[in-house]
A and B are shown apart, each in its own frame.
Chain A
Amino acid sequence: MKSLLDLDFTPFLISFKLALITTIILFFVALPIAWWLSQTKSRVKPFIEAISSMPIVLPPSVLGFYLLVAFSKNSPIGEFLSHFNIELLFSFSGLVVASVIYSFPFMLQPLQSGFESLNKGMIEQSFLANKGVITTLFRVALPNIKPALITALIITFAHTIGEFGVVLMVGGSIPEQTKVASVAIYEMVEIMDYKAAHIYSAIMLLISFSVLLLVYILNRKFKLKAL
């Protein structure tokens, strides 16, 4: 009979580490793009929006397959990276890159719609106050879209924790390196260790519920504060 103490929790730590790094990177990558998309009248806007939303509709295995091909040494990207001794396949760095791509729309879309719903006059007034884009972004725009910002950060984090298909294809299941919680559950079911799979799944369920509850509580708090 397996107890909680006998279980290896390293996959959870790897999942958390991956989600945290991905969320931080994505915040800085998606922020300027979301800002630009919310302000631009450019004709290329729908194309950028369509491309960035692809991970939502694509089966994770399709995205994982393309990333697997792109990261392999036979591909131009893989070959280019090998000159710098960077190996993305079956490595934690590869998982981060894949997660950044996979979770990109979950950070981008809430930020973009937050910026779009913002009173445009506030941004204009900040410019008229002789403030540049960076100051306007961090002192006026972001503080006024707090619910959207929190949703973007938490949903990206939660979505990355729940990743399976892309992670399995790109990272495989190397213990203590690329074996994340969702992959660990899959392997336990495969070897019919349902007891351990139950415990792991219950933990994931609890994490997911807590994260969503946190989003709703914080959003409610900020909405009430804004009234």
Chain B
Amino acid sequence: MLKLDIKNQIIDIKLDIKKGEIVAISGDSGAGKTTLLRVISGLEDAKGNIEADGEFWLKNSRSLHPRRRSVGFAMQNFALFENMTILDNLLYVENNLELANRLLESVDLIEFKDRYPKQLSGGQQQRVALCRAVVKRPKILLLDEPLSALHSKMRLKLQKEILKLHKEFNLTTIFVSHNITEIYNMANRVVELKRGRVVGDKLIEKEIYEQPFIYAEIVEKMESYGKYYIILKISDRLVKNSVEKDRFTRYNIGDFIKVEVKV
């Protein structure tokens, strides 16, 4: 159980998160999503209380140092140790070679384990950051837009991997995401922030089955004889849909749009 009652210049949040929950944090930029993760990890100051499994990480203004909190944090800028190889990045956090190898294997990076971060692409670095956050099997796993740099195929694979690790290590996971499909695929609860406050808090499982729609990715845009089409990827199928001109201009490849499901 993670009980939050925190306040600083940017956020003012009260939230209870059950052990084992996967909570997505959504909201516009500047809503305080990253700040919330940084306050939980102890990297940013706040007043109030943070209680994790009965242990106070923050009580009034007395704060437990980040190193004393059981937190794994995959940051938006990855922050990999550039002087260490990929494998050493994980071993520095937890000296568990077997687990480190297994994690790198699960994200298709085992063959790059002796390379340095700068020798990897952004997407590959992001996967290493994810493994590093998990390797110490923390109580709380914090992921700040963990899959933003990945292409859709890898994103889906990683979503499954995160869920697998989350279950296996009995983690409580909080992740920030703007991607609605990612939120619906991974989280069982979504908390929406606005100007540092909680303005929405919904359980997803219930909602997803009630809603007669899915989110589909636009993979291509076409114009033919004055008509406009978008190609959507639904499951493994590609579906061609005609759209009006103004919508066609508004949409970008990679966008996810809500598609009605006719049963």
Contacts and interface: CB of A to CB of B under 8 A. Distances in A.
Contact of B83 (A124, A125, A129, A143): A143
Contact of B67 (A131, A140, A144): A131
Interface in B56-85: 65-69, 71-73, 75, 77-83
Interface string B88-100: 0000111000000
A191 B82 CA distance: 56
Most buried by B among A127, A128, A131: A128
Contacts of B77: 119, 121
A128 B73 contact: yes
Nearest to A120: B79
Contacts of A226: 82, 118
Most buried by B among A124, A131, A143, A227: A124
A63 B135 CA distance: 54
Contact of B82 (A122, A124, A126): A122
B189 interface: no
Contacts of B92: 126, 129, 131, 139
A152 to B, nearest CB: 17
Nearest to B43: A124
Given A128-B41, A129-B92, A129-B136, A122 B79 contact: yes
Contacts, number: 61
B19 to A, nearest CB: 20
B132 interface: yes
A46 interface: no
A129 B95 CA distance: 11
B118 A227 contact: yes
A125 B67 contact: no
B46 to A, nearest CB: 16
Interface in A142-184: 143-144
A225 to B, nearest CB: 9
A142 to B, nearest CB: 9
B65 A140 contact: no
Contacts of B94: 129
Contacts of A132: 67
A144 B82 contact: yes
B242 to A, nearest CB: 46
Contacts of B66: 124, 127-128
Contacts of A144: 81-83
A3 interface: no
Nearest to B73: A128
A139 B84 CA distance: 9
Nearest to B136: A129
A129 B65 CA distance: 12
A119 B118 contact: no
A127 B71 CA distance: 10
A120 B65 CA distance: 16
Most buried by A among B41, B43, B72, B83: B83
A140 to B, nearest CB: 6
A131 B94 CA distance: 11
A127 B65 contact: yes
A129 B93 contact: yes
Contacts of B78: 121
Interface in B38-65: 41, 43, 65
Nearest to A119: B79
A144 B89 CA distance: 13
B218 to A, nearest CB: 33
B68 to A, nearest CB: 8
A130 interface: yes
21 contacts: A120-B79, A121-B78, A121-B79, A122-B82, A124-B41, A124-B43, A124-B66, A124-B79, A125-B73, A125-B75, A125-B93, A125-B132, A126-B81, A128-B41, A128-B67, A128-B69, A129-B92, A130-B68, A131-B92, A143-B83, A144-B83
Given A124-B75, A125-B80, A127-B67, 12 more contacts: A121-B79, A124-B41, A124-B73, A125-B81, A126-B92, A127-B43, A128-B41, A128-B73, A130-B136, A131-B92, A140-B83, A227-B118
Interface of B: 41, 43, 65-69, 71-73, 75, 77-83, 92-94, 118, 132, 136
The 8 lowest CB-CB distance pairs between A and B, nearest first, are A121-B79, A143-B83, A129-B93, A127-B66, A130-B67, A127-B67, A125-B79, A121-B75
Interface of A: 119-122, 124-132, 139-140, 143-144, 226-227
